[in-house]
Chain A
């Protein structure tokens, strides 16, 4: 179902139980994490922006952001009592967000979305304030390149280069070991740089 369609049913991740099991740990949480983990409102207030940004950067279309963010926080609400803090809250939230984003994103194919960006809105006059235009171009470029990365590279790149998360945090968030994160990050940077260079070459070659 189109996530933006009327009657959208928030799909509370079917794998949620499996997903959150490893994060439900018996060891004592730190006071900081524990106090946050028990208070859904605080988690929402403090981390909504992170979840929203992550959804956008993981390719959830604007039209589906409300649904996706809602789905994330429904899962958070369900599972928060089980979160005891061995992983960072941010990592835990991203682990939820990436699953929800995956579900929403596959409803609108990557190619289709990218083609929309390129082809569906004309700019007959090209009149835009310089600052807005530059920023819009930067955002468009970022998202187009992120869209072209595979999911593994994309997630690591977003967390490392845009969220400034540490490699251990990233490893927790996506459930891989440190060496894998380093490897993916290196590959993601190379792929991103290559995409930048390709774009520059296209611009240089254009009339």
Chain B
């Protein structure tokens, strides 16, 4: 093997897998809405503070929530789009001379530096972003989260799962899988329920959801299984587990 070319076997593999990473239409629309909301938030923050960099995070969050609220009532897509286009009404050729979000006209370096290990963002656009697992069904605007009165808006979200938490998550998933293999889907569901309780937003949430579908279908609770299956495929349409989940409770 010289490295000058790939073998036919490898080319066949790449050919089979090539289109699988493409987004679905829902992915495109969902992210577009989020980007427009964030851009709108950034624009408002810039106008209010003179510098997005100087805008306090709490203020940015409030602005982002306002943007999401606008999005929820169907206004932000149009509003941000028009802002992008300079507010022109139907003049596709009219453009803003500069993006809506202000950026620092910092001098350009001569070379591309490596990303520092812990970059401090030059501009933070804070928005109440929905995690992937909470995605709304395709075509619907993002859900607006209401702030909890007991928690300050700028409060830090929970820290990511440390390694020991991940080990614990995997142990529970392994327990569920073993139960499934032993033909005991109820025990699998119990383990999955424990995972859900201990790690509602765990790193392995996607795998828990996939295994839950398999377990529900294995118990014969087809209706429940199909609902879980549909939720899974909506939340993780490109999951590597999608084919297995899709086949778990055949219609």
Contact = CB atoms under 8 A, between A and B. Distances in A.
A66 B120 CA distance: 21
B22 A136 contact: no
Interface string A47-66: 01100110011000111111
Contacts of B21: 52-53, 56-57, 139
A79 B204 contact: no
A2 B160 contact: yes
A112 B207 CA distance: 13
A22 B101 contact: no
Contact of A194 (B1, B35, B124): B1
Nearest to A163: B18
A139 B119 CA distance: 32
Interface string A32-43: 000000111100
Contact of A141 (B4, B13, B84, B111): B13
B35 A44 contact: yes
Interface residues of B, number: 106
B240 A79 contact: no
Nearest to A10: B125
Given A16-B122, A65-B27, A123-B244, A175 B112 contact: yes
A178 interface: no
Contacts of A74: 35, 38-39, 42, 101, 125
B79 to A, nearest CB: 14
A124 interface: yes
A81 B101 CA distance: 11
Contacts of A22: 108-112
A189 B133 CA distance: 35
A63 B211 CA distance: 16
Interface stretch (B68-76, B169-177, B222-230): B169-177
Given A14-B116, A15-B115, A5 B110 contact: no
Contact of B99 (A21, A80, A121): A80
B150 interface: no
Interface string A17-33: 11111101000000000
A132 interface: yes
A9 B3 contact: no
A204 interface: no
B19 to A, nearest CB: 9
Given A49-B23, A135-B17, A138-B13, A193 B206 contact: no
B31 A15 contact: no
B142 to A, nearest CB: 10
A134 interface: yes
Given A53-B22, A63-B131, A119 B174 contact: yes
Contacts of A66: 27, 30-31, 34, 130, 132, 135
Interface of B: 1-7, 9-10, 13-14, 16-18, 20-23, 27-28, 30-32, 34-35, 38-39, 42, 57, 61, 81, 84-85, 95, 97-101, 103-104, 106-113, 115-116, 119-135, 145, 156-161, 166, 170, 173-174, 176-178, 180-181, 183, 201, 203-207, 210-211, 214, 218, 236, 238-244, 246-248
Interface of A: 1-2, 4-22, 24, 38-41, 44, 48-49, 52-53, 56-57, 61-67, 69-70, 73-74, 77-81, 95, 99, 102-103, 107-108, 112, 115-117, 119-125, 127-129, 132-136, 138-143, 161-162, 175, 185-190, 192-194, 196
16 contacts: A2-B203, A6-B131, A12-B123, A21-B109, A38-B95, A63-B133, A81-B97, A121-B211, A124-B177, A128-B247, A136-B242, A138-B20, A139-B20, A139-B240, A189-B5, A192-B10
